[in-house]
């Protein structure tokens, strides 16, 4: 199979879809890999490293996209890339379509076979291609939250850990999945007082056991979220319903009752955000103010640490990319139900129920797509 890796073009997106080691593995399996010139520079992977691993280098996006039967990316295509979509193309990347009607329509119009990292879900549970970026985003959320609390950044001017004789900051994490757990771990490690809110009592029990009671836990409902936010200095929203738009758990009214200079970090912004007033921001301009609180809603948070993120992403995606390349998308999905759940769009039809529901479309089952 011919596999192409274009340069990411989203604002301050320095990740690349594959490392030189990943290229070497695909080439060892007999596949042809084309990498756009400079695609790895943001992750400090040179053209020469890719060539040494067996890749060909293409001069621009047009030739890179055209060279591939399958395109590997990190982030979803943005409007300037829609023209590269085509019927005989397999696109393997993060898509988050339930929050992006324009891209959903572009993929349908082009007839592209689009497989989303974030909905690949093995029978045993978990989201293996989302997990590494959730780990990174969760840990980063505490870092950027702490930075945004600085007075110079518009925050309350407080230190997460406090100092002897001065109280610690209160950090509230909404959602106890991979991202939320990592956010809580970082906040606890930095010395904050941490509370995790989730709808699942079994998951809260796991948090309590894992951290030996050092993190407070609370069952999610409007009353308890409102109460916790009123005392919070930093709120991290990490709610995820795979493939669906995130529910709006933090309302404008709740934020109006928060402390002046408090900070809210919305990790769920890729899926539309879990705060009512969230809107996507960029690393160039990451924050905005609602009432007297600072919102951080960068839609590609792991792009800020591309050395870490590119390696972690390749570790997770490469086995699936090899399977798609070795067997072709149809046979690969037919033999792997977890990978099959990653199919979001094929031949002009949405194949993910949550994406279809978001836009009032009728979904075609993955089984039907594979049978035709």
Residues with active-site annotation: 96, 270
Choose among 2, 68, 81, 91: nearest CA to 345: 91
In what helix (H) or strand (E) does residue 71 lie, and over which residues does it extend? Answer: strand 70-72
The percent helix, strand, coil of the chain (3-state, each to 5) is 45, 20, 40
Between CA 300 and CA 280 the distance in angstroms is 9
* Separation of CA 66 from chain center: 26
- C-alpha distances (whole Å) from 182 to each of 2, 25, 145, 317 are 37, 30, 14, 21
Between CA 274 and CA 249 the distance in angstroms is 6
- C-alpha distances (whole Å) from 35 to each of 59, 86, 88, 199 are 9, 19, 19, 43
Helices H, strands E: what count in the chain?
13, 15
Cβ atoms of 174 and 220 within 8 Å: the answer is yes
């Amino acid at each position: 199979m011919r596999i192409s890796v274009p340069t990411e073009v989203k604002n301050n997106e320095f990740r690349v879809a594959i490392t030189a080691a990943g290229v070497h593995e695909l080439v060892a399996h007999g596949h042809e890999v084309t990498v756009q010139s400079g695609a790895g520079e943001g992750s400090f992977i040179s053209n020469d490293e890719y060539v040494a691993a067996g890749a060909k280098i293409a001069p621009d996006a047009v030739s890179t996209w055209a060279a591939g039967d399958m395109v590997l990316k990190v982030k979803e295509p943005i409007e300037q890339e829609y023209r590269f979509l085509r019927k005989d193309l397999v696109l393997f990347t993060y898509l988050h379509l339930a929050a992006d009607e324009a891209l959903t329509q572009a993929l349908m119009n082009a007839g592209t076979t689009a497989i989303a990292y974030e909905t690949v879900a093995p029978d045993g549970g978990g989201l293996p291609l989302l997990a590494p970026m959730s780990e990174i985003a969760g840990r980063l959320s505490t870092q950027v939250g702490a930075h945004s609390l600085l007075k110079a950044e518009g925050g309350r001017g407080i230190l997460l850990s406090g100092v002897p004789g001065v109280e610690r900051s209160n950090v509230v994490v909404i959602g106890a999945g991979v991202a939320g757990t990592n956010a809580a771990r970082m906040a606890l490690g930095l010395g904050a007082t941490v509370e995790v809110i989730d709808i699942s009592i079994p998951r809260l029990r796991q948090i309590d056991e894992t951290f030996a009671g050092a993190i407070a836990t609370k069952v999610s409902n409007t009353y308890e979220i409102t109460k916790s936010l009123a005392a919070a200095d930093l709120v991290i929203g990490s709610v995820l319903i795979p493939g669906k738009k995130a529910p709006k758990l933090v309302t404008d009214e709740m934020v109006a009752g928060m402390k002046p200079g408090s900070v809210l970090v919305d990790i769920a912004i890729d899926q539309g955000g879990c705060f009512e007033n969230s809107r996507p921001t960029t690393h160039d301009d990451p924050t905005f103010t609602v009432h007297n609180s600072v919102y951080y809603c960068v839609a590609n948070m792991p792009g800020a640490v591309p050395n870490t993120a590119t390696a972690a992403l390749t570790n997770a995606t490469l086995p699936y990319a090899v399977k798609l390349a070795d067997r072709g998308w149809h046979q690969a999905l037919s033999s792997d139900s977890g990978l099959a759940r990653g199919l979001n769009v094929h031949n002009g039809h949405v194949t993910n129920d949550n994406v279809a529901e978001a836009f009032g479309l009728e979904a075609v089952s993955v089984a039907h797509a594979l049978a035709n």
